[in-house]
């Protein structure tokens, strides 16, 4: 087994992270990581910049994105590794998701204004550096205007589930999202499954049976918010369903100060071995690596 380590779930300023793609790669190199995947929400915009920087630093950067689907009124997140920037169907789906985000941002702003808060879509746009704009940017605008002190406080007071300015996202069905990513050549990973409040081992077992039929390849076993029980359950079910193991920090930079690049919830690192196994699987399927 190689002694090298990877991080297969990271965010940059292109969505709701605070490091530019170049800075993220520089940080990854400084942490001694051999490879990262850039997996911004609903966009692959940062991938080319990140890959250019990775070449300079002598590390590997895998193209990726995080794409959400809806099951029983709840978001389920997928990470598409090797998500192709050149795929027209994938880019059309990501564009649609970003447009739904913008419609929702307007609805959230209206709710905040109705609560007497002085905030506009321009204030939010000024807090975003990339094309994928969402609640963390609204949280930054609220912070700049001194309505709240931290991003977490913005979610707990206004933006989170069941809070006064909450608006659900419009998302596709899991079969559509998984099939699209798989058909376009991505390795489809079920991201942080145990973060869902409704998730039990039995439910995850059922979901994985369906997801695998539609093209799921891997489960994110290691994640910054997966502790012992979550790792135990996801590892056992990944093996039961013959799915690959993935792992990443879900690093976002300063908006999630407790999440560190390259480190998962048990405090360890993700071995390169898991990335090597994904590559082997892709080569066997005739896919690029
Ligand atoms: P959105 O994609 O617009 O629905 O916003 C969800 C994003 O907000 C997540 O990907 C996280 O980056 C961030 N987020 C969610 N909950 C919190 C929280 N409690 N505190 C800070 N950031 C959060
Ligand atoms: Fe995020
Ligand atoms: Fe996620
Ligand atoms: Zn993420």
Q: Kindly provide the b/e burial profile for residues 248-287, where b requires at least 16 CB atoms within 10 angstroms of the residue's own CB.
A: bbbbbbebbeebebbbbbeeebbbbebbbebbeebeeeee
Cα(209) to ligand 2 centroid in Å equals 27
CB of 151 closer than 6 A to ligand 1?
yes
| Mean pLDDT for back-to-back runs of 10 residues, the chain (289 residues) | 87 98 98 98 98 98 98 96 98 98 98 98 98 98 97 97 97 98 99 96 98 98 98 98 98 95 97 98 98
Exposed, middle or buried: residue 228 (CB in 10 Å: 0-12, 13-18, 19+)? exposed
Cα(237) to ligand 2 centroid in Å equals 25
Q: Which ligand is nearest to the CA of 195?
A: 3
CB of 224 closer than 6 A to ligand 1?
no
CB of 130 closer than 6 A to ligand 1?
no
CA distances from 219 to 104, 150, 202, 204, 284 (A): 29, 31, 15, 11, 19
CB of 16 closer than 6 A to ligand 1?
yes
Cα(77) to ligand 4 centroid in Å equals 8
Cα(284) to ligand 1 centroid in Å equals 36
């Amino acid at each position: 087994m190689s002694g090298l380590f990877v991080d297969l779930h990271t965010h940059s300023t292109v969505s709701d992270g605070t490091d530019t793609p170049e800075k993220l790669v520089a940080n990854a190199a400084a942490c001694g990581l051999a490879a990262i995947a850039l997996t911004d929400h609903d966009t692959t915009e940062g991938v080319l910049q990140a890959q250019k920087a990775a070449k300079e630093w002598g590390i590997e950067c895998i193209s990726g994105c995080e794409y959400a689907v809806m099951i029983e009124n709840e978001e389920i997140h997928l990470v598409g590794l090797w998500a192709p920037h050149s795929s027209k169907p994938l880019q059309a789906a990501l564009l649609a998701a970003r447009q739904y985000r913008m419609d929702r941002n307007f609805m959230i702003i209206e709710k905040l204004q109705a609560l007497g808060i002085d905030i506009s879509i321009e204030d939010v746009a000024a807090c975003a550096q990339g094309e994928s704009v969402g609640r963390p940017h609204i949280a930054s605008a609220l912070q700049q205007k001194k309505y709240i002190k931290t991003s977490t406080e913005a979610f707990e007071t206004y933006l989170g589930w069941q809070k006064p300015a909450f608006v659900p996202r419009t998302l596709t069905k899991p079969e559509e999202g998984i099939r699209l990513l798989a058909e376009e050549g991505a390795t489809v990973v079920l991201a942080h499954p145990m973060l869902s409040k409704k998730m039990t081992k039995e439910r995850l077992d059922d979901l994985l049976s369906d997801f695998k039929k539609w093209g799921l390849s891997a489960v994110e076993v290691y994640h910054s918010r997966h502790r012992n029980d979550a790792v135990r359950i996801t590892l056992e079910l990944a093996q039961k369903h013959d799915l690959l193991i993935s792992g990443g920090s879900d690093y976002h930079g300063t908006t999630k100060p407790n999440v560190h690049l390259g480190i998962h919830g048990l405090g360890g690192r993700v071995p390169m071995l898991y990335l090597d196994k994904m590559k082997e699987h892709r080569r066997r399927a005739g896919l690029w690596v």
